[in-house]
Structure 1
């Protein structure tokens, strides 16, 4: 054996439904060279090295269907490409973005395999592939590999490239509702839905979140004045411009007091329960460094609570806890913080964790708290001595079920007064299950863009379905966020059909987006020349907030190299299958492979939609069984046996009968147009009737289609 090196020949990110699965995948063509003659059971020590480096492989069921299934295959003998698939999937999980789908398939060329695995982010998928290749090669060659370092690099990339957990919970909730999502940037800006029906989110902010309301919420003093005017209890307070003014205000309000930036965020610069001039003036300096203005306000005794308001209801609530350490007579305060607080697995520096680590050099409020106890970071508390570290901003215990209806009503009113649609309302009170006024509680802040992690990862209590609540707020029950999408695939006639369907749809007064080989059209206006039959062009149509209906051409290159630009469609048109040899560059060898390509379009038809299939092409007609929705056949032969059987079973079809375009539904027949109409006469008759069938399947009325056919003119091709 002379060549045992894995070589990646090409990599494609299929960012949409494809021949492998409904969701985005990385597809790599991998040449395993002479390893074709060396399955895993013939490589000494390979099993032991892989299981030592990646113990989680035991959870991979593989084709066996049981825990340990892949390891059974590894012991018995499997090929390097299949092993690579599982290594890459495992690395995704170790990096914090678990993915469960993968496949490896032979091609007609010796030693060359196609390896596909799901990855929601292209950069992360490619990095996992690179790391997996290096790891597997080291295991085959019996050389060293630093798994910990590789996974650490992948985790750092995930922190940069993956959507945050708060955004992810909303995206997952949308997926559960079958609402399509599109990531618009490398960050957390997400489009949910298509065209005119779309909404946008940026973590817990939406396109309904007013910029004016955000500005109000960031000004704590203004917020209090506005919500107080509506009868909501708030602490007394005033803006001050110097340490002396802070103390004067504290005397007027009455000790103890709170000193904080007027635009306080995440608890930064906030000092509470201050009861001396020294503490107040020191706190003023800390707050002034964090914000524009400094606010001194009445201290409200009790627990901090964060209530998440979505729309017109409280959907989650957490209680904050004081954080302290207990001395052992040996360790410094700083060491105790690291061992007793920062060791909490819920704390960290990245956004996937609900609580921050406490770093004394970055937490002046903690240093002030220590000074009030005559301590500093180097002090060594006596054994058993409790040292208070933080009094606020540690929301951890879920109390959603305990919130009193009057407290919830106050929170919702506060959010409406500010003008937000989603907000975190900070409430301080002794008992969240009692009205605020009776216990001297108060609303102390309303926060735009609230964090969701505290509700997703509470220390005690129930995880709250906050993502589902936000999706329901944006898309009430029955709203799918979808506009009618007509996808046109097949070996021939795609652009001609797409143009006709777009014409018919816009004759109904709709703003139609069209992406086809001739270019990109928006509302009947051409905006690009040619190359419109691509993933990018299709996605551009669906991103346009004016689009009320979309017509998108998908040739074989889109399906095989890019993935479909939409997740599902209202109508899926399939013309002809062609020959496998036309797709030989993608290793399409026979009719089975070819059928797998074209079924991609039919698989995407919604249950409420329809597949429009060529009854005169046996392979295309045979895909009818795969449609989740209805089926419309079209044919140039009035006596087509496929049509006859379909109509007899109650189906619908369009066909040519001499010069007439006829539509049939079960027992009814109606002439809907003439082949001799000027615009239609220029079209291949197959594509004319296919376009008519697609328009009818999309819900256009027969008489409207009839009228629009008379005025159709095919665009001139450049």
Structure 2
């Protein structure tokens, strides 16, 4: 059997935003097939069967055939290895739990060299999937063994390291449904929703509206309880214990049974319930003291524990916990029974993706205390048929939203507002949450800032609740998409002065304008960075700035090909010219005719209520109008180039006999500029068209042209 050299990965580029291939982030890979260029899939004996033995789910790939098994048809009919690698990588991502439906492979002008691209939500994950997919494919080609499970686990580990936690991811997904953009601000769960002045930030289920004072109160359980009691929220009687002996004294004062818990613990750690003897209470004190700064002893409230989620003063979801028991078989220890009867539940696990946590008997002090009360140790063997209590209130993960009586919803809302939290998890114990509060023992036992959402989004029992939608609606009222108006300008040499003139005109209209162009990064007229700001890592800073309420971005073809756009959509998109092809040979661009397919990216991202601005003097640019979801404004020095567009009632800007005219259908309005602008038509026309499309009045446009100084030093700071 012939052994082939590895396919060479010549260049790997992460495209962070809309690009030549797709609206979304992607990984582009340039491949050199080498001698495999002469050996498509149908000419490698046994290859297809070896590949399918490794990845049988490739049967589900439709490919261009458009039906299940379509890719297998392509394999058996003969397809090149770049295309095969694309599908292998996508399948590894699917198996790792990150479904990926988009991929393309295209030949270049050089024989054996291909460009392969696939959807990539995260660069590190995409690179890992590429590495593993490349190794798998070469193993299948050369008939070597390959551990698919290990490859999938490597990709899954990369996903676990890179991706947002489930609560944050749920909120971000809800924002995406509302077409609100997001930016991840760190390697954890700090996320910006929206852009510039319109943004809000979340950190898991905390928001930039979450009070630091309220967070501090919620961490102090004793203070929280005193404040709640003051406003009439039922809470258990109790106080802070200074020692184990003091804990017993408090228990005698408030009355047995009692609960003992740390004052600033979370997730139920260190909490022991229904304690009735001095030995139990002193043992529970030690468990709680190891978890928190102080220990609270309070009257035990019998009943089920519930988590009520309150957003902006309204209860939006509720979940209930239940006791966890095992039944003895006369042979197995308590630890073995827990493993077999509880931890075997697939809903239990170590990650936040599991609605139920794994029970660790030996490490949970509260469980050990409860076992001792039943005269058991972890290694004891309960008699056959004996029921053993493991957790009095297991993970709160049974949805009960529709069962909550209005009394309890009102109490939860009052508790959140009393502490001052915009989003709160209210832990409440009640015998029957479906009945009125009166006539039963019930109490709020804890108020949590930044509560986890998993119990509501993936309950162990019951229906998921759209809590992320409630949080997004709290931050962004209906109709608010969190976007500032963005003007994106794509083209060659003309794009930089056009961007600067547009920014000047928008600033005159009263906006705080951010500008990213080759001359640097500007806030209004102040340059804050001298580097080429068409780079995404620099230009993105405008979207982070809370002062910016309008932004102008220059995007050359190189920016689109090297990085993708820094924004997902824009209000105004401009394409000025097709200059610069000579500098793009490394992207297989050789002439101006190759550029429209690149620059159309700027038209692809124009919002449906936005406007595309195109140079009608170049028919190749004007033809990009078909890719614009919004309306189109054309500009030209040749009136004939605008005739059809104006006949249909379209907007246009015309330079005729040295004068600018704003055209709406057949109507024309002259732009009364005092002097003759020193700017060439290639700058004046697109800038005026973009600013007019933005909504600036003719008089303001004229004033802006009169006052703009193209010679203003670029180093103003």
TM over 0.5: yes
Question: Could you tell me the TM-score, scaled by structure 1's length?
Answer: 0.97
Show the counterpart of 2:685.
689
Residue 71 of structure 1: how far off its partner (Å): 2.2
Show the counterpart of 1:348.
349
Question: Which structure 2 residues correspond to residues 369-388 of structure 1 after superposition, within 5 A?
Answer: 369-388=370-389
Equivalent residues of 1:315, 1:466 under 8 A apart: yes
Show the counterpart of 2:282.
281
* Helix, strand or coil at the partner of 1:479: coil
Equivalent residues of 2:579, 2:592 under 8 A apart: no
Distance 2:682 2:596 in 1: 20
Counterpart of 1:716 (choices 709, 713, 717) is 713
Show the counterpart of 1:645.
644
Distance 1:200 1:708 in 2: 35
Question: Could you tell me the TM-score, scaled by structure 2's length?
Answer: 0.97
Distance 2:619 2:3 in 1: 47
Show the counterpart of 1:300.
301
Deviates further, 348-357 or 252-261: 348-357
Q: Flag the 1:330–1:292 CA change in 2: closer, same or farther, 3 A.
A: same
Q: Flag the 1:514–1:580 CA change in 2: closer, same or farther, 3 A.
A: closer
Residue 157 of structure 1: how far off its partner (Å): 2.1
Where in structure 1 do 4 or more consecutive aligned residues deviate above 4 Å?
Answer: 579-582, 589-593
Deviates further, 406-415 or 93-102: 93-102
Cα distance per residue 1:531-584 (max 9 Å; x no partner): 111212221111111101000000111100101000000000100124755532
Show the counterpart of 1:69.
70
Cα distance per residue 1:669-692 (max 9 Å; x no partner): 111243944xx31x2212112101
Deviates further, 85-94 or 574-583: 574-583
Q: Flag the 1:2–1:299 CA change in 2: closer, same or farther, 3 A.
A: closer
Show the counterpart of 1:606.
607
* Helix, strand or coil at the partner of 1:674: coil
* Helix, strand or coil at the partner of 1:179: coil
* Helix, strand or coil at the partner of 1:290: coil
Show the counterpart of 1:510.
511
Residue 136 of structure 1: how far off its partner (Å): 0.9
* Helix, strand or coil at the partner of 1:231: coil
Show the counterpart of 1:23.
24
Show the counterpart of 2:475.
474
Question: Which structure 2 residues correspond to residues 542-621 of structure 1 after superposition, within 5 A?
Answer: 542-578=543-579, 582-588=583-589, 593-621=594-622
Show the counterpart of 2:697.
701
Distance 2:58 2:361 in 1: 40
Question: Which structure 2 residues correspond to residues 65-464 of structure 1 after superposition, within 5 A?
Answer: 65-464=66-465
Distance 1:44 1:590 in 2: 41
Distance 2:592 2:344 in 1: 59
* Helix, strand or coil at the partner of 1:694: helix
Cα distance per residue 1:259-314 (max 9 Å; x no partner): 00011200000001111111111000000000000001111111111111111211
Distance 2:252 2:3 in 1: 86
Question: Which structure 2 residues correspond to residues 494-533 of structure 1 after superposition, within 5 A?
Answer: 494-533=495-534
Distance 1:331 1:688 in 2: 84
Distance 1:38 1:237 in 2: 78
Distance 1:711 1:690 in 2: 18
Residue 208 of structure 1: how far off its partner (Å): 0.7
Distance 2:105 2:226 in 1: 63
Distance 2:211 2:714 in 1: 45
Distance 1:73 1:167 in 2: 40
Equivalent residues of 1:105, 1:114 under 8 A apart: yes
Q: CA RMSD in A?
A: 1.6
Residue 3 of structure 1: how far off its partner (Å): 4.4
Show the counterpart of 2:58.
57
Distance 2:634 2:146 in 1: 57
Cα distance per residue 1:313-338 (max 9 Å; x no partner): 11111111111111121111111111
User: Number of matched residues?
Assistant: 713
Show the counterpart of 1:665.
664
Residue 42 of structure 1: how far off its partner (Å): 2.1
Q: Flag the 1:476–1:251 CA change in 2: closer, same or farther, 3 A.
A: same
* Helix, strand or coil at the partner of 1:491: coil
Distance 1:520 1:673 in 2: 31
Residue 67 of structure 1: how far off its partner (Å): 2.2
Deviates further, 144-153 or 375-384: 144-153
Deviates further, 572-581 or 451-460: 572-581
